[in-house]
């Protein structure tokens, strides 16, 4: 079996299938990061509102406040770790020789 046979297998798939396999939806990195930051901000604001309501004496379950605070803390830690990894990757790229 020669190289020509392998090339013929790729050509048999046809251009429509090749285009379909390459049509992968791409998302903008900045948009993904922005959505993540907005999500964390919303969670932090929600937790802050629950804490203020609890401090004001409103009928808010203490466990709901604690769960909300912990969720906000974990999301903030995740965002911080993603930021650290991005900075680390940028530094690694800047050290590469071209």
Q: Per residue in 25-45, pLDDT tens? A: 677 888 888 999 999 999 999
CB distance 46 to 68 below 8 Å: yes
Indicate whether 1 pLDDT > 90: no
Residue 97: the pLDDT is: 83
CB distance 47 to 69 below 8 Å: yes
């Amino acid at each position: 079996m020669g190289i020509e046979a392998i090339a013929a297998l790729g050509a048999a798939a046809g251009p429509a299938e090749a285009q379909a396999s390459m049509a992968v939806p791409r998302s903008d990195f900045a948009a993904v990061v922005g959505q993540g930051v907005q999500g964390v901000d919303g969670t932090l604001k929600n937790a802050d509102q629950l804490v203020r309501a609890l401090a004001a004496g409103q009928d808010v379950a203490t466990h709901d406040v604690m769960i909300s605070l912990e969720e906000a803390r974990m999301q903030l830690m995740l965002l911080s770790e993603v930021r650290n990894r991005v900075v680390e990757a940028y530094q690694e790229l800047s050290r590469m020789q071209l």
